[in-house]
Structure 1
Amino acid sequence: MIVAIAAAEVAFWVVLGAGLLSRYVLRRPGLSRVLLLCVPLVDVLLLAFVVIDIAAGAPPSQGHALAAIYLGVTVMFGHSMVAWADVRFRHRFAGGPAPVKPAKGSRDAVRALWVEWFRVVGAVAIAAVLVLGMIAVRGVGVPDGLDAASKDPYWGSLTLMAVVTAIWFLAGPAFAGRGRADALTPR
């Protein structure tokens, strides 16, 4: 399962890179559109692989839960990763403007922290639904306590996702304040 996740991550960047290269270097917008539309296909293939593996009776594993987390992250962050790469490719290969980022401590920077954290919450929600679906297929109930939950690959992953989300909140927007009004700065 870990190999499938690694292959999906490599395929994501290869397909994205090929789409952007065909757009900006080869000047083939039609091919670029087709390739960029294939980026979500990588996620669909990984999801199909996980479903087939579980349906075939594979024992619960951290790999299954990690695949759910990967899918949640790519659904919530995939578009922003594509936009991030597109701006840099356009700047490097097509004379586009330099990428900009909000000045540290500005209102725009604080807003970006909140947007990123809400994406994390969305990714965790998607992953949790997928993991809970795996738990339902497996037919096992709720563990008696945190110790029992931590030993189960699915319930342990749900616990870990909650902890990571809380830490992300505390490290990101929780203490960022309101920010000051500043202009964007080049990256």
Structure 2
Amino acid sequence: MIIAIIIGCEIGFWVFIALGLTARYLLRRRKLGAVLLAMTPLVDLILLVAAGWDLAHGGIATFAHSLAAIYLGFSIAYGHRMIAWADLHFAHRFAHGPAPVKLTGVAYTQACWADVIRTLFAVGISAGVLTLLIWIAADDSSTGALTGTFRVLGTILVLELIWAVSYTLWPKKDPADAKVPEPKM
């Protein structure tokens, strides 16, 4: 059941974004678009309530509950950025907005380090949600699936950190500056 709710919430998240951007740019109804975009956190609330209710009423903790916690953390931490990304691309495609810029060099490295901070925030939220779910679970013996997820969160954070360090040491080159290798004869 929780997997279906997670899938439904992910679909709902993107539906609210699509409807909000459609209202904003195609229908020229900025206020309606803002309201629809502001509804995206409602999807997170629905997921949190569903996962908590399931565990509080005797549901056995599974990876799906852990996935719900991870989804919530990353949705909250990265949600605004995903909406801004979609807004930029939608505005470019349908409202003659500026073209998205591909980051390279120092700008890309700075974006990677901003993602480390964002991921740290997401991991913290996910860990808090996991702790809440463990606390409200009716069956304490079935929370192993939840407690094991803390290692997954640590791994995600370490991978994000490695990514940022790698681009600090070896910055992403601008395609215009990249040399095309000479063909070997």
Q: Same fold (TM over 0.5)?
A: yes
CA deviations 1:41-66 (Å, max 9, x no partner) are: 11111111112112211111111111
TM-score by length of 1: 0.84
Q: Provide the rounded CA distance (Å) in 2 between the counterparts of 1:127 and 1:43.
A: 12
Question: Structure 2: which 5+ runs fail to align?
Answer: 177-185
Q: Provide the rounded CA distance (Å) in 2 between the counterparts of 1:8 and 1:156.
A: 24
Other-structure match for 2:166? 175
From 128, 134, 150, give the equivalent of 1:158.
150
Q: Provide the rounded CA distance (Å) in 1 between the counterparts of 2:40 and 2:153.
A: 25
Q: Provide the rounded CA distance (Å) in 2 between the counterparts of 1:10 and 1:127.
A: 20
Other-structure match for 1:144? none
Other-structure match for 1:148? none
Deviates more, 1:89-98 or 1:28-37: 28-37
Identity, in percent, stands at: 36
Other-structure match for 2:106? 107
State the 1:178 CA deviation: 6.6
TM-score by length of 2: 0.85
Question: Structure 1: which 5+ runs fail to align?
Answer: 142-150
State the 1:159 CA deviation: 1.1
2:133 aligned with 1:120: no
State the 1:179 CA deviation: 7.4
Q: Provide the rounded CA distance (Å) in 2 between the counterparts of 1:4 and 1:136.
A: 21
Q: Provide the rounded CA distance (Å) in 1 between the counterparts of 2:16 and 2:108.
A: 30
CA deviations 1:100-157 (Å, max 9, x no partner) are: 1222xx111100000112111111111011111222234759xxxxxxxxx9201211
Q: Provide the rounded CA distance (Å) in 2 between the counterparts of 1:175 and 1:15.
A: 35
Other-structure match for 1:20? 21
Q: Provide the rounded CA distance (Å) in 1 between the counterparts of 2:167 and 2:94.
A: 35
